[in-house]
């Protein structure tokens, strides 16, 4: 009787797949609780200061990790890509989100943030990275209709339009940042986050 033995390569691939799935699940959990946590912070701190303290601490942690691993600073277009990514993903997006969450419920905010994958699709098409598909366009229409229904059916009355638009703008910045980071040469993730969060912190302070 032949005995089937898994090769080291197969085992490694299986382990990596499991880690990827675990990382994805943790991302979903933390992303789902994100808006609720921010709502608590904006009740105690001015929105931009709350975001600044958050990303300043995170940037410091990543700088320590990057320096401990002796990761060199990226140069040329790779550095430019990280700076643009930091401005959009941690600076502009969270400025909009923290400000909007002062008035918009956390649940509705998460519904709007569910538009990020669709916004990413359209952003990738605009930058010439992906073709336009009718299925994506149909999905975007359904998502916008759902958000409009949630907006007009609020029991407490009409929500501030500017605050709602700020949440949408924050989602758009997140979508654009995920496309921008793909348009430039890749860099080490520790250094990428260290630089990007530093840029975001400076934007939020300003």
Highest mean pLDDT among 38-47, 89-98, 155-164: 89-98
Residue 139's alpha-carbon distances to 99, 116, 187, in angstroms, are 28, 12, 33
- Rounded distance between C-alpha atoms, residue 129 and residue 124, angstroms: 5
Residue 180 burial by Cβ neighbours in a 10 Å radius (0-12, 13-18, 19+) = buried
Is it the case that residue 203 has pLDDT exceeding 90?
A: yes
Task: Please report how the helices 8-42 and 106-113 are oriented relative to each other, as an axis angle in degrees rounded to 10.
Answer: 140
- CA separation for the pair 197, 177 (Å, rounded): 13
- Of 139-143, 184-188, 197-201, the least confident: 139-143
Q: What is the pTM of this model?
A: 0.75
Tokens 């229904």 -> residue = 149
The pLDDT of residue 117: 79
d(CA 123, CA 107): 25
Q: Looking at the predicted structure, is the pLDDT value of residue 43 above 60?
A: yes
For the cut 50, the answer to whether the pLDDT of residue 42 exceeds it is yes
Q: DSSP class of residue 158?
A: P
At 151 the pLDDT is: 60
């Amino acid at each position: 009787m032949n005995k089937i033995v898994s090769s080291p390569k197969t085992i490694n691939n299986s382990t990596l797949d499991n880690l990827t799935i675990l990382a994805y699940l943790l991302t979903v959990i933390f992303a789902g609780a994100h808006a609720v946590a921010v709502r608590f912070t904006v009740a105690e701190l001015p929105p931009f200061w709350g975001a600044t303290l958050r990303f300043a601490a995170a940037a410091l942690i990543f700088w320590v990790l990057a320096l401990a691993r002796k990761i060199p600073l990226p140069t040329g277009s790779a550095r430019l890509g990280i700076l643009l990514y930091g401005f959009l993903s941690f600076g502009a997006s969270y400025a909009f989100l923290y400000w909007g969450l002062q008035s918009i419920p956390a649940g509705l905010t998460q519904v709007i943030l569910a538009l990020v994958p669709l916004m990413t699709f359209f952003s990738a098409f605009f930058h010439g990275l992906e073709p336009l598909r009718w299925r994506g366009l149909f999905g975007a229409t359904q998502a916008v209709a759902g958000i409009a229904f949630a907006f007009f059916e609020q029991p407490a009355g009409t929500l501030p339009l500017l605050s709602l638009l700020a949440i949408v703008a924050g989602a758009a910045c997140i979508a654009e940042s995920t496309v921008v980071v793909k348009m430039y040469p890749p860099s080490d993730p520790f250094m990428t986050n260290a630089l990007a969060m530093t840029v975001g912190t400076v934007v939020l302070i300003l």
